[in-house]
Amino acid sequence: MQELLVISGKGGTGKTSIVAALAALAEDKVLADCDVDAADLHLLLRPEVESVNEFYGSNKAVIDVRICTGCGRCLEVCRYEAIKEFRVNPVFCEGCGACKLACAAGAITMEPNLAGYWYISDTPYGPLVHAQLGIAEDNSGKLVTLVRQEARRLAQENNASLIITDGPPGIGCPVISSLAGVTLALVVTEPTVAGRHDLERVLSLASHFKVPVTVCINKYDLAPEKTREIEDYCHNAAITIAGKIPFDIDVARALVNAVPLTACSSGAAARAVRALWDSLQVHLERLKKSLS
Amino acid sequence: MHVAVASGKGGTGKTTIAVNLALALAEKIPVQVLDCDVEEPNAHLFLQPVFQQEEPVTLPVPEVDNARCDGCGRCSEACAFHALAVAGGRVITFPEMCHGCGACIAACPQGALAEKPQRIGVVARGRAGRIDFVQGKIDVGVPLAPPVIRAVKKQARGEGLTLLDAPPGTSCPVVAAVKDCNFCLLVTEPTPFGLNDLRLAVGMVRELGIPFAVVINRSTLGDLRVERYCRHEGIPVLLKIPFNKKYAATYARGKCLVQEYPEWAPAFAGLWREIERLVARHAGIAGN
């Protein structure tokens, strides 16, 4: 079983639209959405939810006012400014338990915290594992790990040969949890100064975790000279460009109608995604051979 | 006044709004920009600041004094983040898991643990014309963004306007950036993704009790559901920027709208007046 992860560094470069478009092309696969704090893939895949499961993040401190003597030790030790007037604000509490250790009266307990939900769903394009982290919750990395575990379990059950994962933006905790041990990371970038800057950071993260990468330049024709810069950069770093997708109004249309691009358009962008998928299959095949 | 620019969905134009607002106001009032998207900071690409000082951001991680440690394991029991383990009667630390909370130090009966600073990123400060500029950057491979965001926010001057360019999403890094701000601008796009993530972002700012309003970017590239949602929820839409290939090309080259298309400067000045009005109104309501 292979895992293809789609990431970008910069947000809004088109990860989710590309994952949905690939989902409509690939066979025998399981889909996963690891962008757990702003999950959007389900909007394009119209899932029928088969199971809803609770996700517990870090515990949260609770002060029992009947036992609290008001000594203030908890306030002193909390490094997250989570305690004010002997009440814990769960939004800022990281669940470290330092306050509980410091409380001489034993007034503080650490309580489990329902931090979100994860789902297994059926879609016209195959099974999907997705999640929704509660608003202002932490521990997205732990939820990402859970989504990936379930996707792998489901892929084994269904004899699926591939997992396609929509990753989160950035290079922090949820991206690191998404990246560890995947077969191939497809980095979607855009020809802008910000796209290029963020591409370099996310590529060095992938290389830090020794994950093979390939790049896709989305809306490449909006700034041809920036596209050339990115191509030169990748060429010098010995990184392949798996595809280039032109700006095409069909992409926005597909998004507004909530359908994968490749299921509703035969325009320039849809054709480019098909070519991208051909190139990704060659990549994945090569990686399979290099392992065996 | 502290104004955060956040979004839920990435790539909607947070940085565009923050830098153009900063440039439109810098002649009139003191403006500071804090780039709190420490995973992928981009504001510097547009404002081109000259950096004058740079300081590492560190996290206090535990260090074991093996002469004192008797391997009792209280530290690893106390650690909620699995950053310490006992193996063969000895304590091993995993600094990359550590949140720097200090629980292990407090739990150790032998006084065998001390804290040492571990570098996780950097905060740089400089100037871009009249704008005071600060950005944070986590080191590649470091998972924990909030401590670097807190370090950036410590550089706030507290005069005039302090604009915070927040990271995308609605979880802990965004909360760290938006927390304690006087106002939050939520930038979105008129697509199902934009709407879905705007709903989440609205939930977050409401939870934090911060007054907020919406800016719709690329407003002609989608449908009317975002506007309908805002009207239904009573959320003010303060600015709409239409999609235009020329604007996209300006952004691609790292140039700013108010500089290449000065006709946009009054719109950003107006945005600022609306923010001031809404903050005053919120203070009035809170005061009563």
> Using CA atoms, how far apart are residues A22 and A11, in angstroms rounded to an integer?
19
- What pLDDT is recorded for position A291? 76
Chain A closest CA to B53's CA: distance in Å?
21
CATH 3.40.50.300 fits B2-54+122-287, yes or no: yes
Terminal alpha carbon distance of chain B: 21
Query: What CATH superfamily classification does A2-56+116-291 receive?
Result: P-loop containing nucleotide triphosphate hydrolases (3.40.50.300)
Residue of A nearest to B59 (CA): A79
Mutate to test the interface with B, among A13, A76, A79 (most CBs of B within 10 A): A79
Residue B158 pLDDT class (50, 70, 90 cuts) = confident
Strand partners, B185: B5, B213
User: Can you tell me which residue has the tokens 């051909």?
Assistant: A278
pLDDT at B287: 64
Lookup result for tokens 């409401």: B206
Domain ranges of chain A: 2-56+116-291, 60-112
CA dist A245 and A4 (Å) reads 19
Of A102, A136, A168, the CB nearest to B175: A136
| Rg of chain B (C-alpha set) | 22
Q: What CA–CA distance (Å, rounded) separates A47 from A58? A: 29
What is the predicted pLDDT for the residue at B200?
A: 96
Six-digit token string for B108 = 């150790």
Q: What is the pLDDT of residues B221-273, one digit of tens each?
A: 999 999 999 999 999 999 999 999 999 999 999 999 999 999 999 999 999 99
Q: How is A87-105 classified by DSSP, letter by letter? A: EE-TTT-----HHHHH-TT
Chain B residues within an 8 Å CB radius of A172 = 39, 138, 142-145, 173
Chain A to chain B, count of Cβ pairs less than 8 Å apart?
190
C-alpha span between A52 and A147 (Å, rounded):
12
CB under 8 Å to A278, separation ≥6 — which residues? none
Q: What tokens appear for B196 in the block?
A: 């879905």
* Tally of CB atoms within 10 A around B263: 8
Residues of chain A with C-beta less than 8 angstroms from the C-beta of B106: 77, 98, 101-102
Chain A residues whose beta carbon lies within 8 Å of the beta carbon of residue B84? none
Helices (H) and strands (E) in chain B, counts: 11, 11
Render pLDDT for A107-131 as a digit per residue (tens, 0 to 9): 999 999 999 999 999 999 999 999 9
Beta bridge partners of B125: B53, B134
Predicted pLDDT at A175: 97
Spatial separation of the C-alpha atoms in residues A130 and B282, rounded to whole Å? 37
In chain B, what residues touch A202 (CB-CB under 8 Å)?
40
Per-residue tokens: A160: 């699926």
Pick from A10, A172, A190: CB nearest B173: A172
Are the C-beta atoms of residues B172 and B83 closer than 8 Å to each other? no
What is the structure's pLDDT at A186?
Answer: 98
The token pair at A176 is: 């690191």
What is the average pLDDT across B171-185?
96
Q: Min CA distance, B26 vs chain A (Å)?
A: 23
B228 CB contacts (<8 Å, ≥6 apart)? none
B76-113 confidence digits (pLDDT tens):
999 999 999 999 899 999 999 999 999 999 999 999 99
| Cα distance between residue B204 and residue B35, in whole Å | 20
Out of B80, B145, B204, closest to residue A96 by CB: B80
Q: Which residues of A36-56 are buried (b: 16+ CB within 10 A; e: fewer)?
A: bbbbbbbbbbebeeeeeeebe
Are the folds of B2-54+122-287 and B66-111 the same? no
Instruction: List alpha helices for chain A, DSSP H.
Output: 15-23, 41-45, 73-77, 98-102, 140-157, 173-179, 193-208, 224-236, 249-256, 261-264, 268-291
Nearest CB among B40, B174, B207 relative to A198 is that of B40
Per the CB < 8 A criterion, the answer to whether A82 and A89 are in contact is yes
Using alpha carbons, list the distances in angstroms from residue A250 to A20, A30, B56, B177, B191.
14, 26, 46, 36, 13
B118 φ, ψ (degrees, to nearest 5): -115, 130
Nearest residue to A57 via CA among A108, A102, A96, A107: A96
pLDDT tens digits for range B2-25: 999 999 999 999 999 999 999 999
Q: How far is A172 from chain B (nearest CA, A)?
A: 4
Query: How many CA atoms, within 13 angstroms, populate the side-chain half-sphere of residue B249?
Result: 10
For an interface test with B, which of A135, A196, A248 has the most B Cβ atoms less than 10 Å from its Cβ? Answer: A135
Query: B66-111, what's its fold?
Result: Alpha-Beta Plaits (3.30.70)
Q: In chain A, which residues have their Cβ closer than 8 Å to the Cβ of B46? A: 193
- How are beta strands B237-241 and B212-217 bridged, if at all? parallel
Return the sign of the alpha-carbon dihedral for residues B281, A137, B117, B113: positive
**How many CA atoms, within 13 angstroms, populate the side-chain half-sphere of residue B178?**
32
The domain locations on chain B are: 2-54+122-287, 66-111
The nearest CA of chain A is from the CA of B136 a distance in Å of: 13
Q: Do A169 and B81 touch (CB under 8 A)?
A: no
Class of domain A60-112: alpha beta
pLDDT < 50 positions in chain A? none
Question: What is the DSSP pairing of strand A87-88 with strand A60-63?
Answer: unpaired
Q: What is the DSSP string of B17-63?
A: HHHHHHHHHTTTS-EEEEE---SS--HHHHH-PEEEEEEEEEEEEEE
